[in-house]
Amino acid sequence: MELTLYKVKQNNYSRGESSMTKVKLIEKMLLGGEWINKSETINVFNPETNQVIGTVPKGTSEDMKRAIQSTKEAKEKNDILPVHQRIDILQKASNLVDERSESFAKIIALEGVKTITEARAEVDRTARILQMSAEEARRINGKTISFDQVPGSENREGYYKYYPVGIIGAITAFNDPLNLVAHKVGPALAAGNYVIVKPTSKTPFSALHLADVLLEAGLPSNMLSIIIGGGSEIGEPLVNSPDIGMIAFTGGFKTGETIANQGGVTKFQMELGSNSPVIVAKDAKLKQAVSNSVSGAFAASGQNCNGVQRIYIHESIFEKYTEQFVEQTKQLTVGEKLSEDTDMGPLISEEAAQRIDSWVKEAKEAGADIQCGGERDAAYYFPTVLTNVPDGCKIVNEEVFGPVVSLFPVANFKEAIKKANGVNYGLQAGVFTQDIDKAHEAIDQLVVGGVIINDSSDYRIDAMPFGGRKGSGIGREGIKYAVETMSEKKVVSFNLAK
């Protein structure tokens, strides 16, 4: 169907006049190499207006089982795609995403939570992910082993080499609807795997259009399926199938825990979100610490796994930092996603905004002060800064996944590290300091997957191993590291006659 997209100019917390552009959506799902329709469908809503923008087929348990069986048969028949073909396909797909960047960006912005500016950045990143996946396909090399390091093995020589895991089950979330799929599909194909993707039914169109690009680039159609539906309906047969060699999941902690319990002895890579801290030492460059942390807290309306949620500031600069942080937060433009002037769009649903509102109200009733924000309009929640939040509040201990940040004064650096470690999450942490000793103290003592010095927790490139500790997940993303995880080492040893 054709959709009307809007590009508007607006002021803070307001909406304005519109001009129109059109884009075409794929309203089918890809099952075992075939684009199919179903009589039962799922409505996809624009969270900004709560209007239906399109429909997709509603997959069933039988559809998922059929996709698994079809993929298994294709894998057994076709074996492993040669490396040169993987490189060629991924490179062509990268080029096609780049060529159609504006169309992809509008789809992301329409079905999801990102502004058009944020969506364009996501598309650019997706093209790079596919390019990097092509490059890593070239680098899947084994290594010789010195067997003669053990007495009695002097006449042995050998090596190990990599083989694909087989079939990867990928389950993705709404906040990066194109990028999260590319992060799983790109490395999986680079390693020679077959892939079945279950994107969230809230934002399925980005995944479907990426699949279309991969097929156009030459990917054998039976190597990729996109099945859309509820977690209990189609997620369980995917996770429980003995034919699935690995589950790659991005989503919430509770869902990840359920998947792990269901999957049994299966290979997992999970990114389960966070409650990311930032530490601001008394010697920090204040302007940098404020600006980077505001950006890190409110990008994608705070619906970002490594977004800033808690900030621990040395008490000697707390008042000045808070004043500047609140002032910059108030400058953010909240409004329609397709406006070039918008900094922050809506939450994924009105229910999500209501949940966040209830958490803020709980904190306020417990004694917290709202420095700015704390207001909801349908699915919008305005950027909110809290101080004096008691330790027991949900907003401190759980992942808010929204545009709310809490500021705390601390007496010293050790107290900041202790409080930063005080939740059951550990994805990334930001640390602002000019003291190299303090930087290394944080690096050594913060229980997280990444420590970002003089930037917010929200910094990431796809060439780094990205993942968390504690409730933030299992394993690491990042193209090179995902390719390794989605491969299996096989040892070869020759006993040579002498």
393 is catalytic: no
CA distance 341 to 467: 32
* Residue of 122, 136, 305, 399 marked active site: 305
Pull the structure tokens for residue 150.
């053990």
Best CA proximity match to 290, nearest among 323, 249, 241: 323
CA distance 318 to 460: 27
Best CA proximity match to 196, nearest among 225, 233, 223: 225
Within a 10 A sphere around the Cβ of 90, how many other Cβ atoms?
A: 28
Instruction: Give the SS3 label for residue 325.
Output: helix
Best CA proximity match to 274, nearest among 442, 450, 89: 450
| Integer CA distances (angstroms), 15 to 117, 199, 379, 383, 403, in order | 17, 30, 14, 16, 19
| Integer CA distances (angstroms), 451 to 417, 426, 430, 437, 458, in order | 12, 10, 6, 14, 10
CA distance 155 to 494: 8
Q: Distance from CA of residue 416 to its chain's centroid? A: 27
Name the phi and psi angles at 49, rounded to 5.
-115, -15
The single residue listed with the structure tokens 């399926």 is: 225
DSSP bridge pairs for 36: 29
Q: Give the DSSP H/E element, type plus range, for residue 408.
A: strand 404-410
Question: Quick one: CA dihedral 133, 124, 469, 451, positive or negative?
Answer: positive
Within a 10 A sphere around the Cβ of 53, how many other Cβ atoms?
A: 18
375 is catalytic: no
* Residue of 48, 271, 399, 477 marked active site: 271
CA distance 95 to 157: 43
| Integer CA distances (angstroms), 70 to 58, 147, 232, in order | 19, 41, 21
Kind of pairing between the strands at 369-372 and 384-387 = antiparallel
Question: Quick one: CA dihedral 108, 112, 115, 118, positive or negative?
Answer: negative
Best CA proximity match to 389, nearest among 411, 406, 372: 406
CA end-to-end distance (rounded Å), the chain: 72
Q: Distance from CA of residue 201 to its chain's centroid? A: 16
Name the phi and psi angles at 208, rounded to 5.
-65, -40
Single-letter residue type at 417: I
Residues known to be catalytic: 271, 305
